[in-house]
Chain A
Amino acid sequence: MMRVLLIAGLVLSVLLACGMGAMHIPLLRVVAILLYKLHLHLPISFTESEANVLWQIRLPRVCMGVMVGGSLAMAGAAIQGLFRNPLADPGLVGISAGAALFAVLCIVVFSGVSYYWMNVATFLGAVLSALLVFRLSRSGGSTHMATLLLAGLGINALCNALTGLITYMANNDQLRSVTFWTMGSLGGATWATVAALLPFVVVPVLLLPRLAKWLNAFALGEAAAAHLGIPVKRLKAGVMLLATLLVGACVAVSGIIGFVGLIVPHILRSASGSDHRALLPNSFLLGASLLTLSDVLSRTLIAPAELPLGIVTAILGTPLFIGMLMKQKRQLNTWAS
């Protein structure tokens, strides 16, 4: 039921996002143009330029929004499951900052590297910082939450400082590109970007739900999960790798977009529970919808200029996040009394 609703929501968001922008394309025409590309001819007329705008500009951007939003949300849900904490987030544990550092390094120091290699480098940055945080927060075979957050904080600070240093050395053009990374945008979307991102998204999105049952048992703690016969080390390595793959690839094409990975799983947990078998796919669907809609806002609010997407999600996400904290605090107070 939940799944059907979320799929319907995503389809609606995509159609809406395809129609809205500098050139408004009515909903029915959007459907007609999309079906026309599939050689289904509806008795609805549209202009050549509408078809071009939709197919060349808007649709790649919407596809990227779906992939990035879905990936960030699903990676968030998986990482929260792994760290057994609903407040863990790819951003909080340093993955995004590491990725951005390597991206900025590519832009400024090794300017001129191809888009493909930049993708690879950004991904490496994500993996390295994630591994470092994970490594630092473990002692005696178990991960400690407090140490983890502190390690994430430390690595974040280090990466941000280095990113700042490199930014300081950048020239004007490079500075514009750097700004793109730190504020997040889907503006660079083309079919080529979509194709480059696709494998990084499809593989983890298919594999992560296979770990869902294990992630549920992991909520009991590492020892208890091991007693249930779960290969704990493989699970941890698998989730870290797949989540880092997702987040690293997304940051590479869209820069840092915060709060999606934190808010989306949280909304779904309070609506339909923590079972990762439902939570992981549902997070993808809701994250995709929300980011697609946020991107519509980022394109239309101050048109013809664009608001950076990361700023839109932060402005929308922060009040939600604080609201959730307050609710949790109230619950804690009721249990205590």
Chain B
Amino acid sequence: MMTIDYVSCKAGNRHILHSISATLGAAQVHVLLGPNGAGKSTLLRVLSGEVLPGEGLVLFNKQNIHSRPAAKLALERAVLTQQYAVNLPFTVREVVMMGRYPHFSRQPSARDQELVTETMQALQLGHLAMRHFHTLSGGEQQRVQLARVLVQLRHVDQPHLQGKYLLLDEPTASMDLLHQQLCLGYVQQLAAKGLTVIIVLHDLNLAAQFANNILLLAKGRIWASGRPGEVLQASTIAAVYGMQVSVLLHPDYGFPIILPMQQGLPVEE
């Protein structure tokens, strides 16, 4: 379980995050939503331990993540950021194996190799294993990096993922429809094994489909939070995004579906 306690961040005099507090349960998918500049990526960088907040605390399983040694933290949290430019010719398998680096000192064990193979197959990367990473398309590169951060969190001998958390910043932005569903579906399965998952998304419909819990950010504050059905209401979206939408319900699964109205024109203030 993760507790975010009155976290604030400043850049110069401007508040990027303003007294953010939330409790994020284990074995759940939490999605951070909000317009550009709302502070989603900054919040993610605070949660990853990369940025020390000006005020407040982030506790994971009652431990302050900013006082954890980097090598220990690497065994319990993995981070997928938005951009990876790899200029040296590493193969896809080598890149995924880098996720296991915190687990072995010199050479990977047979079990490390197995976990890499298994995760690559789950994300349909098997056929790309020997390709050079920098020759892949954007969506393929995202899948490779996702596989890398997922193998980082796997136990050597236990199937569960309790006591670990995963941060993803727009993991599916360049993926096609099938792979968006495949990847988020796989992440959802891992959450069911005890993993705490926090994802920044822009696509409200993906959020509605995969989130157990949504934090809607605007101007550095939490505007609304709760289950997708509670947060994703037409009035809330109009207030935060300045956009008129209709909210329908999926006929079979019941999660909300958000459709823009007014053909792309913003709301008059």
A, B bound: yes
A interface residues, Cβ below 8 angstroms from B: 80-81, 84-86, 213, 216-217, 219-221, 223-224, 226-231, 269-270, 273-275, 277, 331, 335
* Contacts A217-B98, A229-B70; A273 near B75 (Cβ below 8 A): no
How far apart sit A65 and B153, CA to CA, in the bound complex (Å)? 47
B175 sits at the interface (CB 8 A) = no
Docked pose: A80 CA to B89 CA in angstroms: 12
Instruction: Determine whether the beta carbon of A219 is less than 8 Å from that of B90.
Output: yes
Mark the stretch among B77-85, B244-252, B260-268 that contacts chain A.
B77-85
In the assembled complex, how far is the CB of residue B103 from the closest CB belonging to chain A, in whole angstroms?
10
Contact A229 B102 (CB under 8 A): yes
Does B188 have its Cβ within 8 Å of any Cβ on chain A?
A: no
Q: A229-B74, A231-B70 are in contact. Are A269 and B94 (CB under 8 A)?
A: no
Contact B81 A224 (CB under 8 A): yes
**Known pairs A217-B98, A226-B70, A228-B102; A274 contacts B75 (CB<8 A):** no
**Additional pairs, 16, CB under 8 Å, beyond known A213-B101, A213-B106, A226-B70:** A85-B88, A86-B88, A216-B90, A217-B101, A220-B86, A220-B98, A223-B50, A226-B50, A227-B78, A228-B74, A229-B70, A229-B72, A230-B101, A269-B89, A277-B106, A331-B135
- How many Å from the CB of A191 to the closest CB on chain B? 36
- B13 proximal to A (CB < 8 A): no
Q: Is the CB of A274 within 8 A of B88?
A: yes
Residue from A80, A221, A224, A226 whose CB has the most chain B CB atoms within 10 Å: A224
Q: Are B135 and A335 in contact (CB under 8 A)?
A: yes
| Set of chain B residues within 8 Å of A217, measured between Cβ atoms | 98, 101
Any A CB within 8 A of the CB of B87: yes
CA–CA, A224 and B78, complex, Å: 9
> Which B residues touch A231, using CB under 8 A?
70
The answer, yes or no, to whether B233 is at the interface (CB within 8 Å) is no
Distance (whole angstroms) from the CB of B229 to the closest CB of chain A: 33
Q: Give the complex CA separation of A22 and B207 in angstroms.
A: 78
What number of B residues sit within 8 Å (CB to CB) of A? 30
Question: Least Cβ distance of B140 to chain A in Å?
Answer: 12
A335 CB to nearest B CB, Å = 6
- Is A85 touching B85 in the complex (CB atoms < 8 A)? no
Give the CA-CA distance A84 to B87 in the complex, in Å: 6
Does chain A have a CB within 8 A of B16? no
> Closest Cβ of chain B: how far from A189's Cβ, in Å?
34
A219 to B83, CA, bound (A): 12
- What are 30 pairs between A and B in contact, CB < 8 Å? A81-B88, A85-B87, A85-B88, A86-B87, A86-B88, A86-B89, A213-B101, A216-B98, A219-B90, A220-B84, A221-B81, A223-B81, A224-B81, A226-B70, A227-B48, A227-B74, A227-B78, A228-B74, A228-B98, A228-B99, A228-B102, A229-B71, A229-B72, A229-B73, A229-B102, A230-B70, A269-B89, A270-B89, A273-B89, A273-B94
Query: Is B196's beta carbon under 8 Å from chain A?
Result: no
What's the nearest-Cβ distance from chain A to residue B144, in Å?
A: 11
Measured in the bound complex, the distance between the Cα atoms of B101 and A219 in whole Å is 13
Residues of B within 8 A of A86 (CB): 87-89
Contact between chains at A84 and B50 (CB < 8 Å) = no
Asked whether B90 lies within 8 Å of A228 as measured between CB atoms, the reply is no
User: Distance (Å) between the CB of B16 and the closest chain A CB?
Assistant: 15
Chain B 87-115 residues near chain A, CB threshold 8 A? 87-91, 94-95, 98-99, 101-102, 106
**Residue pair B86, A219 in contact (C-beta under 8 Å):** yes
The answer to whether the Cβ of B152 comes within 8 Å of any Cβ in the partner chain is yes
B101 to chain A, nearest CB (A): 5
* CB–CB B89/A228 < 8 A: no
Contact residues in B for A230 (Cβ distance below 8 Å): 70, 101
A residues less than 8 Å from B70 (CB atoms)? 226, 229-231
Q: Please report the C-alpha to C-alpha distance between residue A224 and residue B98 in the assembled complex, in whole angstroms.
A: 10
Q: A219-B88, A269-B89 are in contact. Are A275 and B102 (CB under 8 A)?
A: no
A221 to B90, CA, bound (A): 13
Q: Please tell me if the beta carbons of A84 and B81 are within 8 angstroms of each other in the complex.
A: no
- B74 surroundings in chain A (CB, below 8 A): 227-229
Q: Which of A86, A270, A273, A277 is the most central at the interface, judged by chain B CB atoms within 10 Å of its CB?
A: A273
B153 to chain A, nearest CB (A): 12
Q: By the criterion CB–CB under 8 Å, are A269 and B102 in contact?
A: no
Residues of B contacting A223 in the complex (Cβ-Cβ under 8 angstroms): 50, 79, 81
